Each structure stands twice: as C-alpha cells, then as structure tokens.
Amino acid sequence: MDAYNARMPDTGKGLLKDLFTLAFLIVVVVIPIRVFIISPFVVDGESMHPTFENLDYLIVDEAVYDFEAPARGEVIVFRYPGNPSIFYIKRIIGLPGETVSINRGVVTITTADGQDVTLAEPYIVNEDATYTKNVTLGTGEYFVMGDNRPNSSDSRVWGVLPRKNIIGRVDLRLLPINESKFFPGAASYAASSSTTSPPSL
C-alpha cells in the first residue's frame, strides 16, 4: 500500500541545499570572474564621442592581454600615468617600436619594419589641428587617443602610456540597451596602408 503513497519532499533541506550551491558558485565562479577577468566601467565625459557617450555602461576584459598583445584600434581602459587612481578610456593608435606622426589631424604610423600607414579613422570627431607631432615609442609604450579629438586629454597631451597601466579591453556595452553590443569600439586599418609597391621592371 505504501508503494502507492507519494511522500512530501523535505522542502527545508532542499532550499538549504540550493542556497549552499548558489553561495558556492558565487564564491568559486562569480567572484573570481569579477575580480580577475571582467569589470564594469562607466564612461565619464565626452572624450570618446561618438563611439561612447557619457554614462555608457561597459564591460572590460581584464584577462585578454595575458594571452595577446594590445592591438591598434582597440579601445582600452587604463590607469592615467599622471595619477594611477584615475581611470581613462581611449583608443590604441601607436604600438611599441612605432613612430606616430600627426599633421593637421591626420595620423600616420611608421611601423617597426619601416612601413608608413596613414590611418583611416571614420569614428573620430575631426580636428583641423595646426601642429605637427612626432612620437617614437619604446618597448612597452603605447600611444592612445580619444575619438573626440578636439576634447580629449590623451597621449598628445600627457605622453605615452606604459603597458603596465593598461587594465583591459572594452568587449561589451550593456547600457543603454538599444546600443548594447559586443566589441562596440572595434576598428580595422587593413586597407589604409600608404605604402606603395615598387614599379615593375
């Protein structure tokens, strides 16, 4: 007869087990991911307009540069060299061993192997600067700029960015919802080389 009688589950023990499992996952999985792999970042200011706006809520991948080198065009969050307690968001323009030349807002890169590349930058707010700037980067040094060139404090103002100051790459925009996407600041310069092939003989 007992075989046909269903027993009520012990809901108290089941709830306790679920809470313990949730707490375990938070400690073992969520907290390490939050502390060592990703972190939130809220944009403060207009230096990356129009790519990012004030109060955009971003997710920064802190582990990516443990496996690969920072690349040109990537948007990064870093500690400002003049005051490491302040966090900046900018775009990588120049890489170690390169020379960055700026002439009336046009950026040309002389790569480590001697090629000249004029960057096509459709994401920027144009600036008709009257100055020329040339910076040669050493080992572990990067040249970064904001997309809102007339209103950005960046490597043009305070100098090169040391590799040790880079926190991570912006991989996701969560807010605003209608603008959410992965790799929101992605840029490619593959077709912008100004180097010409030698004439055929």
Q: Active-site residue numbers?
A: 47, 90
CA atoms within 13 A on the CB side of 90: 24
Task: Report how far residue 123's alpha carbon sits from residue 185's, in angstroms, rounded to the nearest whole number.
Answer: 9
Burial (CB count within 10 angstroms: exposed 0-12, middle 13-18, buried 19+), residue 78 = buried
Instruction: For the chain, give the number of residues.
Output: 201
**DSSP code of 148?**
B
Bin 17: left if φ > 0, else alpha if -120 < ψ < 50, else beta. Answer: alpha
Burial 52-64 (b: 16+ CB within 10 A, else e): beeebbbebbbeb
Instruction: Catalogue the E-assigned strands of 55-110.
Output: 57-61, 75-79, 87-94, 99-103, 106-110
Q: Is 13 left (phi over 0), alpha (psi -120 to 50) or beta?
A: alpha
Measured distance CA(155)–CA(151) in Å, rounded: 13
